A and B are shown apart, each in its own frame.
Chain A
Amino acid sequence: MTVEQRNDDPRDQFPIGMRVLAVDDDPTCLLLLETLLRRCQYHVTTTSQAITALNMLREDKNRFDLVISDVHMPDMDGFKLLELVGLEMDLPVIMLSANGDTRLVMKGITHGACDYLLKPIRIEELKNIWQHVIRRKKFDSTNQKTSGNQDRSNDGGGEGELVSAGTGNSDHSGKVNKKRKDQNEDDDEDPDENGHDNDDPSTQKKPRVVWSVELHRKFVAAVNQLGIDKAVPKKILDLMNVEKLTRENVASHLQFQNPAFRSFPPGGMIGRLNTPSGLGLRGLPSSGMIQLGHAQTSGNSNNQVKFQPVTLQGNNNGSILPGIPMPYELDQQRNKGLHIGDLSTTIDDTAVFPLSNSLPDVKIATGNGSNNVISVTNNMLMLGHCQDAQAGREFGNHSSVSVAPLKPEFCSPLQDPGRCNENWANSVQPSGFQSNSFPLNDRQKHAALHRSSSRDNMSVMASQIGVNQFDASSIASASFRPDNSLSDSQSSMIQGWGNLHKQDSSCRPNLMSSSMNSLVPVNGGLGPLEQGLDLKNPMYHRNMDFDSMGQPNYVDPLMVKYEEVEKSTMETLKLKQAYLMDQQRPQGSYMSNNFDPLGDVVSAMMKQEQDKAEGEFDAYPLRV
């Protein structure tokens, strides 16, 4: 056989000559496998005993590139071998089995298999297995930078509550799983996930940065390390030490985190929010998210918490808000309304997302006129922002829907806070939202908003938001489904938002309400809803996910914040809104609300950012 010869071949001709270790107790299958692999021009070593395989691997880790192993083996369970190889040698392992039962496949995946093949094997399948080797290598190298940090962050939870909130509280295993999943996902999407799109070198001014959970954790860690007061993007960037991350990315993200803390700097902030940082919701438990985390702890925390960070990630594997690409992008393109649009789309899953981001969205969205998008984004932002603000207030008071709360500052981009508020307020009011004005300051309004809307709505909204397109109408409809009490108010709120967008405000109302509703229920953290229903929507969207979980739990932290806001109506909203509000904290003042650990950080950051952002954020073009 030319195998030996191939052995001499340098790996240059990879995948030719890739060294595979095949393990299967069935001699027929083993022979077939061996022959097939040789036909693929790999270098094959076979053994029918798992123990022998392990020994071979232990003797020399570098002897093989890939391991293929049967699941059913007499001397050792295939999964066990899989685990050991993964842990000790960190080699990619492919599982093989005649049994394709989903549970088994799942087991394989959770144990770390990079692929699961069914017998009888065909050569076509084997021809591609080399990709796992490449992926693993790539992932490892990229991961070194980030995973280390992440691990630190994660484990430390210290990043404060930020991290822990999201992860710590919630189910640890979930987090771990998530992490693993993230990693796996990262593996697959490696370049993208790690928060930096490979496509754009960091040299570009606006690379799309996906704030993966890992990245966000690093971010949080950096911020914590620096101290809120000193957490300036530049320093954060340095601390994070992530390639291809620009100061701008960090700045945006920072802003995102802080919606609640700071009043959104006009324009600039929003833009930022949209940016990756906003999107970062995923990774970052941005105020909204983080808060959610807290909130979650109470209940679905697991889900939520995880969700949040996950959600962000979930959507895009790595991107923070899969659903909402915008946020990140927004940052980059703050001025482009596009972001917002994206956000909306991404929002679908990541309810968590965009809250913080959404704010920027608002800004952008309005500017662009892409109504849906904008509104959504705004909402999203708002949500995020609102959360902070609201969070303190009372979670339940989502009604105040952060949208409004967006403090005037925040709102301004949106179109002028006053207007926003008014719009919101007015619209919302009908249902008794108290949040007449969305002004961030006026938490009560938010609360009202929150209250009224049913959680479901919010969640629906949130989900809607997540839905691409954040089409206001669509969102509205979606969220409104459950529409409970808030519907009216929400709708009005939405309308408010709608105005922002300049789009059909009527559409928005739905959104708003829905978002509010959704926000509340779901993410509690989605607080931002308050700020902008739109914002919330995204959040709600996320919330939706959570909703199932039991949103109220999440909301807790936020709820607290919401306390301040009027609690009038939205119970569900409250939660969400609270969360959102916290995030949004219309001016940082909310920070005081309970929620926060993140909030504080965020606010601090926001403040800093604000200064910076001022310039950057153009008034949110909420040119309604």
Chain B
Amino acid sequence: MDRNQLQRQVALMRSSLIEQVPNPSLPSLKLLVGYLDEQQFLQLEDLQDDVNPNFVEEIVTLFYKDSARLFHNIEQALKSRPVDFAKLDNYMHQFRGSTSSIGAIKVKNECNQFKEFCLAGNAEGCARAFQKVKQEHETLRTQLETYFKLRRQAGLAETV
């Protein structure tokens, strides 16, 4: 791909990720629609500058690393009997904080679902909601990885 194409792709993907309107020219990106909160993500990108050239990637990586830890905790808590809902809520609250910092809307929505079940003391519901959270989490990760790859390629293309 030449530089322009790459860049265009990057732009398209990004807008798909952010906006709710699927981009017809990139059918594969339909899946990405609405994954990220525009404002938040844009802010992240905005923070990326010469001083912080890889900020977005950095923070996303950090997010995934930290969420792995939280997921582990949640799973443990879900397995334990009796289920400690307060703890669950606590962990999820933390996780939600970082997801919103990234701007991961869908993941956050699933988190909210989880919280509902948690408040209701529904362990099964929590477990199911948690599965969904993980799913969305993974999907987003894939999308973002692709996005970053494209960006890097476009960036490299530029320097070339």
Interface residues of A (CB under 8 A from B): 1-2, 25-29, 31-32, 35-36, 39, 70, 72, 97-99, 119-123
Question: Which of A1, A29, A72 contacts B101 (CB under 8 A)?
Answer: A29
* Assembled-state Cα–Cα distance A2/B52 (Å): 12
B94 and A25 contact, CB distance less than 8 A = yes
* Interface mask (B49-90 → A, CB under 8 Å = 1, otherwise 0): 001100100110011011000000000000000000000001
Extra contacts, 17 of them, besides A29-B98, A32-B47, A98-B100 (Cβ < 8 A), are A27-B65, A27-B66, A28-B63, A28-B102, A29-B97, A29-B101, A31-B58, A31-B59, A32-B59, A35-B59, A36-B47, A70-B97, A72-B94, A119-B97, A119-B101, A120-B100, A123-B43
Which B residues, 7 to 57, have Cβ-Cβ distances below 8 Å to chain A? 37, 39-40, 43-44, 46-47, 51-52, 55
Closest-CB distance, A473 to chain B (whole angstroms): 50
Asked if B43 contacts A122 (CB within 8 A), the reply is yes
How many contacts between A and B, using CB within 8 angstroms? 62
- Given the known A-B contacts A28-B59, A28-B98, A32-B59, are A98 and B93 also in contact in the complex, defined by CB atoms under 8 Å? yes
Chain B residue contacts of A1, Cβ below 8 A: 51
Q: Which of A2, A26, A35, A97 contacts B98 (CB 8 A)?
A: A26
In B88-129, the 8 Å CB interface with A consists of 90, 93-94, 96-98, 100-103
Chain A residue numbers with a CB within 8 Å of B90 are 72
| B39, B96, B98 pick with most chain A CB within 10 angstroms | B98
> Which of B43, B44, B47, B52: most chain A Cβ within 10 A?
B43
B130 shortest CB reach to chain A, Å = 18
Interface size of B in residues (CB-CB distance below 8 Å): 26
Residue of B nearest to A39 (CB): B47
Which partner residue on chain A sits nearest B64 by CB separation? A28
Q: Are A27 and B62 closer than 8 Å at their CB atoms?
A: yes
Asked if B40 contacts A120 (CB within 8 A), the reply is yes
Chain B residues contacting A99 (CB-CB under 8 Å) are 93
The answer, among B39, B40, B44, B66, for a CB contact under 8 Å with A26, is: B66
- Nearest opposing residue in chain B for A25, CB measure: B94
**Contact among B55, B96, B102, B103 with A35 in the assembled complex (CB-CB below 8 Å):** B55
B94 touches A26 (CB 8 A): yes
Q: In the complex, which residue of chain B has the Cβ closest to the Cβ of A96?
A: B97
User: B47 to A35, Cβ gap below 8 A?
Assistant: yes
> Min CB distance, A1 to chain B, in Å?
6
Measured between alpha carbons, how far is A1 from B65 in the docked complex, in Å?
24
CB distance from A293 to the nearest CB of B (A): 44
A1 (CB) vs chain B CBs: closest residue: B51
Inter-chain contacts of A72 with B (CB < 8 A)? 90, 93-94, 97
Query: How distant is A29 from chain B, measured CB to nearest CB, in Å?
Result: 5
Given A31-B62, A35-B52, A120-B40, answer yes or no on A26-B97 (Cβ-Cβ < 8 Å): yes
Check B97–A98 contact: CB distance below 8 A: yes
A31 to B98, CA, bound (A): 10
Q: Let me know if B39 and A122 touch, CB within 8 A.
A: yes
A36 CB contacts on chain B under 8 angstroms: 43, 47
> What's the Cα separation between A1 and B62 when bound, in Å?
20
In the bound complex, residues from chain A placing their C-beta under 8 Å from that of B55 are 35
Chain B residues with Cβ under 8 A from A97's Cβ? 97
Question: Cβ of B40: which chain A residues have Cβ within 8 Å of it?
Answer: 120, 122
